[in-house]
Amino acid sequence: MKFLKRVDAPSNVTSDKTIRELSIETTKENHHVNEGQEQSGAYPLDGVPTLAFHSISTADFQFNIEKASDIIVETVEEFVNKIGNGRLVLVDISHGSKILNVVKSKAAIKNIDPAKFFTFVGDITKLRSGGGLHCNVIANAANWRLKPGGGGVNAAIFDAAGPDLDTATKKRAGSLAPGNAITVPLPSRSPLFSNQGVTHVIHVLGPNMNPKRPNCLKDDYNVGCKVLHEAYLSLFENFASIVKTLEKSSDEFSNCDQKVRREDGVSFNEKNKKFKGLSEVGASNKLCSVDEKQNAGSSGKTGGSLNKDWGSWAQALYKIAMHPEKHKNDVIEISDDVVVLNDIYPKAQKHLLVVARVEGLDRLADVSQDHSHMDRGTLRYVERKLVRDSCISKIRYGGG
């Protein structure tokens, strides 16, 4: 199997196996965690759904920080177990931020799991490159017209995402009422997607207590607190919807594996054997085997009948490669030797899998000079892709 990845600038990422601190802070100079705090697993790996959000309405809209912090913690506590393996991260660009400190303290009192919710100091448009924190979803403190500009987080996010965010937003809505949020998928060509791994922006609008801004509530905190709570609920509901979509995609992949195992009579410990590759068929009838006719045809090439003792990921890819006509929605291109499909968990702007269709070619040890034409075919496909998609400037080409 071949992997094609866009090359991004490396970032310094450090992590431990456990999360012991609720707040992680980075410095502009070296991104080290502040003294007395431990570097931790709060730096999620690619593929872990993570929402980064600023405190809503406490900056330009001048909402009371103490009241806002109560609402943040209450809503997080309500939602933290409804987002699957997702994570919520409260972000502020300022060290010593009052809202971060207050929320961190109140969340600790509530015993909110720090693996699910924590605070982070950094620029929300540069979390991965500037602090090593990968968030696939970020919240934008939008204006009611959903327009770029205006300063603050809204202007920064629109600038970082490029014109594609404005175009995508206009397709979704023309305005936003206080207390509501709307999800906008980012096109892969957006710099925020390709450089920071952000796939979605959720626009959210909170209550306004600033008389110089529209819809001022004039310090009516009875209404204001209700609207702010609704804004966070809407924000987290939108994020939960994204998480469910990702889980559904993962389940569909898993269901394909279950079908493979039912058809082939597979019974094995998936955790321990996920990437073991091939093993020869022994006397035990418990081992997974390919169709007998296929094995008979390939035994002459490989020196014996083979058992494809793989994990779910590899089994599903094998099924697609052998029967691409049954997976037309997943397959991009089919040839006699390979199939090309998109990785369901892309690690770059474009992440393609080129999977061999040749029986008996199941591990690196099986590769010979006779298969060199497949490499050349893969490179030709990459060249055509570069011509068609001018936004791709670099390619990483690897095998597994």
- Whether the per-residue pLDDT at 34 is higher than 80: the answer is no
CA dist list (Å): 156 to 105, 141, 153, 205, 345: 28, 10, 5, 16, 27
Average pLDDT, the chain: 75
Q: How many residues does the chain have?
A: 400
Matching residue, tokens 């966070």: 232
User: What percentage of the chain's residues is helix, strand, coil (to nearest 5)?
Assistant: 40, 15, 45
Report strand pairing: 137-141 vs 200-205.
parallel
One-letter amino acid identity for 18?
T
Tally the domains of the chain.
Answer: 2
- Alpha carbons 181 and 145: distance in angstroms, whole number: 13
In a domain, residue 6? The reply is: no
Over residues 277-331, the pLDDT tens digits come to 433 334 333 333 344 444 444 444 434 434 455 666 677 788 888 888 888 777 7
- How is 214-240 classified by DSSP, letter by letter? TTB-TT-HHHHHHHHHHHHHHHHHHHH
Give yes or no: residues 36 and 143 share one domain: yes
* Proportion of the chain above pLDDT 70, given as a percent: 60
Give yes or no: residues 175 and 298 share one domain: no
Q: What is the average pLDDT across 150-159?
A: 92
| Domain's final residue, options 191, 214, 247 | 247
- Whether the per-residue pLDDT at 268 is higher than 90: the answer is no
Report strand pairing: 50-53 vs 117-121.
unpaired
The residue with greater pLDDT, 82 or 391, is 82
In a domain, residue 241? The reply is: yes
Q: What is the pLDDT of residue 384?
A: 61
Q: What is the pLDDT of residue 41?
A: 33
Over residues 158-184, the pLDDT tens digits come to 999 999 999 999 999 999 999 999 999
- Alpha carbons 119 and 93: distance in angstroms, whole number: 11
In terms of average pLDDT, the best of 80-94, 246-260, 286-300, 304-318 is: 80-94
- Whether the per-residue pLDDT at 48 is higher than 50: the answer is yes
Over residues 369-395, the pLDDT tens digits come to 666 666 666 666 665 665 555 555 556
Give yes or no: residues 306 and 358 share one domain: yes
In a domain, residue 256? The reply is: no
Give yes or no: residues 228 and 296 share one domain: no
Q: What is the pLDDT of residue 246?
A: 81
Give the domain range for residue 188.
11-247
The model's confidence at residue 12, banded by pLDDT at 50, 70 and 90, is: very low
Residue 230 belongs to domain with CATH number: 3.40.50
Angle at the Cα of 125 (from 123 to 131), degrees rounded to 5?
Answer: 50
Give yes or no: residues 199 and 299 share one domain: no
Q: What is the pLDDT of residue 322?
A: 82
- Alpha carbons 180 and 204: distance in angstroms, whole number: 6
Give yes or no: residues 286 and 178 share one domain: no
Give yes or no: residues 229 and 168 share one domain: yes
